[in-house]
Each structure stands twice: as structure tokens, then as C-alpha cells.
Amino acid sequence: MHHDDRIESFYSSDRWRKCRKVFLQNKGGLCELCLKRGLIKLATQVHHRQHITPDNLDDPRITLDHSNLMALCDECHAEQHRTKRWRCDELGHISL
């Protein structure tokens, strides 16, 4: 949940719902990060690469531009919001 009512309101808006729907259709409804790993998994989330804040909420280049979005499954979306202390490459090798 977001801490700002305006951000909550954005995610409930028709303009976001339409953008999200078209974006997921353009991505074939599949998780982009899973595809890079050779996995086929449905995307259930649309993630903003540059996160929405009260300061950039009115900037459509941040909120609605497809270049700032990623189609992700629930697990990959959760991972994008965690603070990373390590990395895992495509082969499963972990590095700090």
C-alpha cells in the first residue's frame, strides 16, 4: 500500500488501468524477468522502473510511459521492491 492518497488514487484511475492493460497486452502477458531466465510465467503486475512519488506523480513520462514499465509476476515484483544485498545471474550464481 502507498502512503500517499494521491498515489493510491492514481492506481485506481481509468488512465492507469487503460495504460496497464495495453502494456500487458503488448508484452504478451508474460513476466519479463522470468522470460530472461527462460521461464514462462504470467505477468500479474506492472512495475514502474522509476518509482512513483508525490513529486513525479503528475509526470506522464514516469507514470504512463511504457519505457518506464515492466511486466512482472508477483514473485519478481516483490523482488524488485526488496533491498538487494546480493545478485543472482542467469545461471544461478550468487555474488555480493
Start-end of H helices in 1-96? 5-11, 14-26, 32-36, 60-63, 74-81
Q: b/e for 53-88, b at 16 or more Cβ within 10 A?
A: eeeeeeeeebbbeeebbbbbbeebbeebeeeeeeee
| C-alpha cell belonging to residue 8 | 493510491
Instruction: State residue 48's pLDDT score.
Output: 95
- Tens of each residue's pLDDT in the chain, 96 residues: 456 889 999 999 999 999 999 999 999 999 999 999 999 999 999 999 999 999 999 999 999 999 999 999 999 998 888 755 555 666 766 655
Domain edges within the chain: 5-95
pLDDT of residue 88: 62
pTM over 0.85: no
